[in-house]
Amino acid sequence: MSIESMLMFILTLILIPVLLIASNDTLFFVVLGAILAFSALKSIHSTLFGSDTEYDDAEPGVLEEIEDLINFDLNKFKVLYKNSKSILVIVFFIYCMFYINLMWLKLLCAFVIVYWLGNINHNLKVDSNNEFKDTIPGLLVFSVDLSSLILISICAYNKLFVF
């Protein structure tokens, strides 16, 4: 299989589901809400009980060899990935604001959006491999994750059962 056909296969494998999710707002809400809820639950669990898994990072020399081989900076790709993930989360919570009627829930949603904007700002400024969660207090991460779970559950109820 040539490289072009393999890239088209991977692009098709990724692009078609993304386009399907983006074309239907309810599917977008359900899929992204489930992903964010599981991510928030995992983060809350690791904050309360500590993380049990230790990730084996590849040797730094191997990553440098791969970067030299393909002539591409993997750190820039990592920043791009993190920022696109943060933008997608911000879009999700802006979408959630349409299904919230109470002012304090809208303020809670704004709090979560500001956190993710800070995440983007931090990713653009810092070139190191540490994550935004490692540089801020654990209580803030816990409150953002708990707020996200509350907002997702209230918005899901309002979107799927009330409206």
Residue 159 pLDDT: 87
Looking at residue 114, its pLDDT comes to 94
Instruction: Provide the angle, in degrees to the nearest 10, between the axes of the packed helices 103-125 and 74-97.
Output: 170
How buried is residue 70: exposed, middle or buried, by Cβ count under 10 Å (0-12/13-18/19+)? exposed
Query: From the CA atom positions of the chain, what is the Rg in Å?
Result: 19
3-class secondary-structure state, position 57: coil
**How far apart (Å, rounded) are the C-alpha atoms in residues 98 and 25?**
12
Residues 149 and 31: their CA atoms lie apart, in Å, by 14
pLDDT for position 62: 64
Looking at residue 8, its pLDDT comes to: 74
Can you give the pLDDT at residue 147? 93
Q: In sequence order, which residues have a C-beta less than 8 Å from that of residue 64 and are 6 or more positions away?
A: none
pLDDT tens for each residue of the chain, 163 residues long: 566 676 777 777 777 777 777 788 888 888 889 999 999 999 888 888 876 555 545 556 665 666 666 666 667 777 888 888 899 899 999 999 998 989 999 999 999 999 999 988 888 886 555 555 566 678 888 899 999 999 999 999 988 888 6
Instruction: Give pLDDT, residue 47.
Output: 83
- Secondary structure letter of residue 58 according to DSSP: P
- Those residues with Cβ within 8 angstroms of residue 44's Cβ, 6 or more apart along the chain or in another chain: 142, 145, 146, 149
Confidence (pTM): 0.75
Q: State the Cα–Cα distance between residues 147 and 156, nearest whole angstrom.
A: 14
Burial class (CB in 10 A: 0-12, 13-18, 19+), 112: buried
123 near 132, Cβ under 8 Å?
yes
